[in-house]
Amino acid sequence: MADYTKNFDGWIVKKKKYHYQKLLPPMFKERDIWWVSIGVNVGYEEDGKHDKFLRPVLVLRKFNRELFLGIPMSTKIKDNRYYTQVTVQDETVSVLISQIRVFSAKRIQDKLAELDRGDFKKVQDEVVKMITFSPLPKQRSRG
């Protein structure tokens, strides 16, 4: 993977703007997928893209009007337990289960879609599996 310079300084400017904005957050609910300004993060944490540092995020649990538990999404498809494939607007995408976190509603930009109930249940089941520390499959010995 090619190295790129993370724009931490640009993100800080945007982050301050979002923090101090006086707008009411949009009405959102569980199963919604929104473009969320997730920013520039450390190491292998998922980053947002472009000038607003956006990434689609699935609303897994709404805590109140200001906070939600969300999971970033990607068009990259990987075959592992932390990438759950779902269909959004007739396209197969991944929900990045390992990147689950709490978001402020101040980061929300625009609504992208609403996840189908069946796919949402699949994501919920995968999150439960991850947080209950189900053991990893045993590795076969190479020999």
pLDDT of residue 92: 95
CA 70 to chain centre: 6
pLDDT of residue 38: 77
pLDDT of residue 1: 45
Give the chain's length.
143
Question: What DSSP letter does each residue of 62-83 carry, written as one string?
Answer: E-SSSEEEEEEEES----STTE
Place of tokens 């980061």: 107
CATH number of 8-131: 2.30.30.110
Domain residue limits, the chain: 8-131
Q: Give the global pTM.
A: 0.77
Question: What DSSP letter does each residue of 32-53 carry, written as one string?
Answer: EEEEEE----STTSPPPBTTTT
Enter the tokens of residue 115: 């996840």
Which stretches of the chain drop beneath a pLDDT of 70? Answer: 1-4, 7-13, 15-16, 18-20, 39-48, 53, 134-143
Task: Give the model confidence (pLDDT) of 68-99 as tens digits.
Answer: 999 999 998 988 888 999 999 999 999 999 88
Characterize the bridge pairing of strands 54-62 and 101-104.
unpaired
Does an H or E element contain 87, and which?
strand 83-88
